[in-house]
Amino acid sequence: MAEARELEELQERVILLGVSLQDDRETRESLEELEELAKTAGAVTVGMEIQNREAPHPGTYIGKGKIQEVKEKILETDATGVICDDELSPAQMRNLEQELECKVMDRTLLILDIFASRAATSEGKIQVELAQLQYRLSRLAGLGKSLSRLGGGIGTRGPGEKKLEMDRRLIKNRIAQLRRELQEVKRHRELIRERRKKNAVPVAAIVGYTNAGKSTLLNRLTQAGVLEEDKLFATLDPTTRGLKLEGGQEILFTDTVGFIRKLPHHLVEAFQSTLEEARYADLILHVVDVSNPQMEKQMAVVYDTLRRLEVTGKKVITLFNKQDKLEAPVRIRDRQADYTLNISARTGEGLEELKDLLEEILTENQILIERLYDYGQAGKIQLIRKFGQLLEEEYREEGIYVKAYVPREIYGNV
């Protein structure tokens, strides 16, 4: 019991700060999401403060009057720090820390911290450390207490924490080394993609807002065994798994890191090789949490992020997930998608329709053949079985009659 009390005492208590430029409601929604991020990072929110301004204060993010209010709230709630809903400049972070006399964090630092705690593979750790170092490099002069190793808590976790005392030269050297390692990862990914292309196996990238149910969908379709949690950024490292459809056609599904509003540009750059999976996929499965009140805004964030990644010219299937959480089905449209389906990845509702739709789309890019093969050409039929859709197969005296759909990529080989 004493141990539980000690853990409770160590838990960070934070006040969330936001600046509303136009829409106070949107700012509040963003702060509610920030509260979820803080919870994921292990902190408890003890207050929220919004200031209406034409622009964030260039020196302290919020104005003097609001700073005084926040100082009083820190004393009232026994808060250990504040988290701002935007990325702060080094000067803003340093000045606000001095004014409030407590730990100051911003949204970017919080997301980086969550990524650091979630990264499991060597690739994920490299990407997170690179993003952390890029963020910290510009803030070396003014980090102060907020990122001190001795302070512990949010912002000090992960592979990047031991770099805090390095000077700029050493950090730049480390960044260069990490970029070289990521180039190797990128080359490795490109080789895998080339192999897939050569084998003519279509790829569907699963994208969506964080916590929309992407991992649950992948697990349900392919028994991938990926971690499922009702938390933001439960999984970071991409997983690719195959599924054989009813007609015999094989398709690969690749899960990607979840998107979020104000996704830090450091992360987009560091996770470029992972996020590129969507760019090189044949299809995009856009998973949407239909039970979330901010669903439409989350969809807009996903499409904006896809545009930033230059993911264009792909067929998009939008899957309105978590139908099991609704009291009654709701008819929703997505004008940017080619197809829409209502599903529940958890219960399996709509997934058979999804498989049928995938088969229909894949068939569009295939050629119907009717051929008679010599018995010595049975290897070609194996190729059709693996990458095409075998409709009829009949063993005759003169050879093997085959009627099948085959991908254009392997048409010349069969």
Judge whether residue 196 has pLDDT over 60.
yes
User: pLDDT tens digits for 312-325?
Assistant: 889 999 999 999 99
pLDDT band with cut points at 50, 70 and 90 for residue 3: very low
State residue 232's pLDDT score. 67
Q: What is the DSSP string of 167-204?
A: -HHHHHHHHHHHHHHHHHHHHHHHHHHHHHHHHT--EE
Residues 284-313 have a mean pLDDT of 91
pLDDT tens figures, 82-94: 999 999 998 999 9
Task: Work out the pLDDT band at 153, boundaries 50, 70, 90.
Answer: low
Binding site feature residues for GTP = 208-215, 233-237, 255-258, 321-324, 344-346
pTM of the model: 0.78
Q: What pLDDT is recorded for position 120?
A: 75
The encoded tokens of residue 373 equal: 């093969």
The CA distance from 412 to 410, in Å, is 5
pLDDT over 70 (residue 384): yes
102-106, 230-234, 393-397, 401-405: lowest mean pLDDT where?
A: 230-234
- Top mean pLDDT of 73-82, 198-207, 236-245, 368-377 is at 73-82
Closest CA to 405 of 386, 383, 390, 385: 390
pLDDT, residue 234, reads 60
Structure-model confidence comparison of residues 286 and 388, the more confident one: 286
Helix/strand/coil (H, E, C) string of the chain? CHHHHHHHHHCCEEEEEEEECCCHHHHHHHHHHHHHHHHHCCCEEEEEEEEECCCCECCCECCHHHHHHHHHHHHHHCCCEEEECCCCCHHHHHHHHHHHCCEEEEHHHHHHHHHHHHCCCHHHHHHHHHHHHHHHHCCHHHCHHHHCCCCCCCCCCCCCHHHCCCCHHHHHHHHHHHHHHHHHHHHHHHHHHHHHHHHCCCEEEEEEECCCCHHHHHHHHHCCCCCCCCCCCCCCCCCEEEEECCCCCEEEEEECCCECCCCCHHHHHHCHHHHHHHHCCCEEEEEEECCCCCHHHHHHHHHHHHHHCCCCCCEEEEEEECHHHCCCCCCCCCCCCCEEEECECCCCECHHHHHHHHHHHHHHCEEEEEEEECHHHHHHHHHHHHHCEEEEEEEECCEEEEEEEEEHHHHHHC
pLDDT digits (tens, 9 = 90+) for 44-84: 999 999 999 999 999 999 999 999 999 999 999 999 999 99
Q: What is the mean pLDDT of residues 278-286?
A: 89
- Is the model's pLDDT at 389 over the cut of 80? no
Check if the beta carbon of residue 88 is closer than 8 Å to that of residue 104.
yes
Query: Where is the binding site for Mg(2+), in residues?
Result: 215, 235
Q: Over the stretch 343-379, which tens digit does the pLDDT of each residue have?
A: 999 999 999 999 999 988 888 778 888 999 988 888 8
Binding-site residues sit at: 208-215, 233-237, 255-258, 321-324, 344-346
